[in-house]
Copies of this chain bind each other. A is one copy, B any other.
Amino acid sequence: MNTLSNKNSYSTITGENKPKLTIVKVGGKIVEEPASLKQLLADFAKIEGNKVLVHGGGRSATAMATRLGIESKMVNGRRITDIEMLKVATMVYGGLVNKQIVAGLQAIGVNALGLTGADLNLMRSEKRPVKDIDYGFVGDVKEVNASIIAELIIKSVVPVLAPLTHDKSGNLLNTNADTIAGEAAKALAEYFDVTLMYCFEKKGVLMNENDDESVISVLNPTLFEKYVSEGIIQGGMIPKLENSLEALHAGVKQVVITRSDQIHTDSGTRISL
């Protein structure tokens, strides 16, 4: 495929007028149950302008592995992808979940195109080196062909990205959906004003973990450090937000942490520099 011959044709030199792009990452139960998937796709369709959907599917993969008598090996809470589990991931992520999303979006007028990192060589990864733990067929992203994805988006195609990459040597590799979304967002920041939206079970980052309505609406590096020092932000949310800040430093305009039923609204926690 030809790369975009002149990417500045739709962005000014200062980058102030780049078109907007929203990348939504959803995972877990939302995409794996017909009713919640249907609602999600309706909400996603309401997002105006250019958009990309990145999905997980770990629960379905685990359930399918169980049905096939394949043991889901976990080390420190992380899945080990052996060759049998890679086949399950390829079937479930690349086939079942991805194509059901694509068909569901096409039914409501969204011109979806399901993609893995192997398709059009969009995301090349390398098998994670074995240090203390052998994660198996897990790929760390090394290269994103952002110009090809951008070219599709400009033509009003809505990419639906499955959490699979390839090593360009014929092997598919399992890659975390959060990572796919983050790497796509960083690479596409050259072409678009990117809002990267992570869906969680809560409405956003909470001031008080016991009050689901206590959403912090705005965060930036200064506020993040303040809230961490005050113990308001803690635990697993810290690395998540550190990854968000890293994406912002890499050119992503805004990261939003929200709940899937709010993706088409201004709710949630909006993080920018």
Interface residues of A (CB under 8 A from B): 1-2, 38, 64, 67-69, 87, 90-96, 98-100, 102-104, 106-107, 111-114, 116, 118-121, 152, 155-157, 164, 166, 168-172
Contact = CB atoms under 8 A, between A and B. Distances in A.
B121 A111 contact: yes
15 contacts: A1-B157, A2-B155, A90-B96, A90-B99, A91-B92, A91-B95, A94-B98, A94-B114, A99-B119, A102-B166, A103-B166, A103-B170, A106-B121, A106-B166, A113-B119
Contact of A116 (B64, B102, B169): B102
Given A93-B95, A99-B118, 4 more contacts: A1-B111, A2-B156, A91-B92, A107-B166
Contacts of A166: 102-103, 106-107
Nearest to A116: B99
Contacts of A92: 91, 95
A137 B207 CA distance: 49
A2 B2 CA distance: 16
B103 A114 contact: no
Contacts of A157: 1, 120
Residue of A67, A94, A103, A164 with highest tally of chain B CB at under 10 A: A103
B106 A96 contact: no
B107 A114 contact: no
A111 B120 contact: yes
A101 to B, nearest CB: 9
Contact of A114 (B100, B112, B119, B169): B119
